[in-house]
Amino acid sequence: MTLKVLLLNGSANKDGNTFRALSEIARRLEKNGVEAEIMQLGNKPVRGCIACGQCQAKQLGRCAFDDDVCNRIVDKLKEADALIVGSPVYYGQPNGAVMAVLQRAFFSGAKVQNKPAAAVAVCRRGGASATYQTMNMMFEMMNMPVVTSQYWNIAYGRTPGEVIQDTEGMQTMRTLADNMAWLLKKIHADGNPGYPEREERQSMNFIR
C-alpha cells in the first residue's frame, strides 16, 4: 500500500521559502517510502467563505463555488492519507488566502477526518508561533491527529531560498517528516486503522 501526503504551499511564491521547507519534508517522506505531493496555492484570487450553507444543504462535499483552487484541494484530499500545510507569516498570521481556502474546504466536507496533519510556518523574524497555532486550530477540530517535531514546525528566512540557511529549521522539517511517516505506517500497518466510532455530532448554541 502506498501512503501519500499532500503538502500545500500556502505561499503565492511557488519557489519561495515555504516551498523550500516543504521540499525538505517531501524529500524525507520519500526517503521513508511515503509518497509526497506538493500542491501550490498559486497566485490567482481566492474567495473567502460567505456562509451560504449550500455545501451542507446540498451535501456537496465541496465548496459551492468552483472558480478557484479550493475544490482542487478537496479533490486531492480524497486521495491523500495526510496533510501538511505550510504558510508564510503575514502580520503574525498565516497568509489570508490559504486560510480562506482551507476554511471552505474543511467546512464543505473535505475528507480529512482521522488523517494526520501538520502545520509549517515560515517567517523573516516574528509571529511564527501564532501562525503555527492558528493553522493547528483547524486540524484540532477535524479529528486530525497533529504531528509534531523536535521543535515547533517553524523555519526562518526572508528572501526566496534564505530558509535553507536555517539549519535547525531544516532539521525540524526532516524530523517532522520522519514522525509523519512513522505515524502513517503505524496507522495503516495491518490494513485496518481501527478508527474510533464517532457519535452523531452535537452542534448547539447558547441562546435559548
Which parts of this chain interact with ligand FMN (CB under 6 A)? Answer: 11, 13, 16-19, 88-92, 122-127, 157-158, 160
Q: Residue 78 and residue 20: Cα distance in Å, rounded?
A: 25
Count Cβ neighbours within 10 Å for each residue of 146-171 and write b for 16 or more, e otherwise: ebebeebbbbbbeeeebbeebeebbe
Nearer to ligand FMN, 63 or 89 (CB): 89
Nearer to ligand FMN, 86 or 116 (CB): 86
Q: Residue 128 CB, nearest distance to ligand FMN (Å)?
A: 7
- Residue 106 in 3-state DSSP? helix
Closest residue to ligand FMN using C-beta atoms: 16
Q: Residue 121 CB, nearest distance to ligand FMN (Å)?
A: 9
Nearer to ligand FMN, 81 or 127 (CB): 127
For residue 117, list its beta bridge partners. 83, 146
Nearer to ligand FMN, 27 or 124 (CB): 124
Q: Which of 127, 170, 157, 125 lies closest to 22 in space, CA to CA? A: 170
Q: Residue 119 CB, nearest distance to ligand FMN (Å)?
A: 14
Ramachandran angles phi, psi of 100, nearest 5°? -60, -45
Q: Residue 149 CB, nearest distance to ligand FMN (Å)?
A: 19
Nearer to ligand FMN, 108 or 136 (CB): 136
Q: Give the side-chain half-sphere CA count within 13 A for 144.
A: 29
Q: Residue 35 CB, nearest distance to ligand FMN (Å)?
A: 23
**Residue 56 CB coordination number (10 Å):** 13
